[in-house]
Amino acid sequence: MLQAGDLAPDFELPDARMELLRLSSFRETANIVLYFFNKDHTPGGITEAVEFNELLAEFARHDTVVLGVSLDDCLAHEAFREEEGLDFDLLADTEGEVSRLYHVLTEWQAQGMVRYGIERSTFVIDKAGVIRLALYHVQPKGHAAEVFAYVKQLGQLNADR
């Protein structure tokens, strides 16, 4: 598992518009809330995405970008963004490579087949690319507000330097 103080693994994934987004492209310009969710169009996925979306302006005031990652493909993400009115990027990790890097991919056996899913998790990454907060096993309801409180505190700590 990744922890606060670890360097965030860099990656490149396509967003809902099928444009590649590289995590390190935000270095020195923005903090990042990188959250992993299991699936578009699920009750928990909707709750978490809508709550992050409602706080986007507040995150932006603290130089923070929100990025969501799941195993869904770009087309599913685009439909989800449109249906829920989301204004932040959703990244398609269809092969689970990035989910493995962040230790959020789970695997289990069901009816003789191996299934994969994402353990709902969130990482706050600072402008230097260092993980400042790593949360595994999160609950969707109220999670965005909890993460925003941390980002706000992080901004105050940086302002005091």
Burial class for 7, CB neighbours closer than 10 Å (0-12, 13-18, 19+): exposed
pLDDT above 90: percentage of residues in the chain? 87
d(CA 26, CA 148): 18
Mean pLDDT throughout 25-41? 95
Q: Which CATH class is domain 12-19+29-159?
A: alpha beta
Mean pLDDT throughout 20-32? 96
Determine the pLDDT at residue 113. Answer: 84
d(CA 42, CA 117): 13
pLDDT tens digit sequence for 93-128: 999 999 999 999 988 888 888 888 899 999 999 999
Kindly report the average pLDDT of the chain as a whole number: 93
pLDDT above 70: percentage of residues in the chain? 96
Chain centroid to CA 142: 15
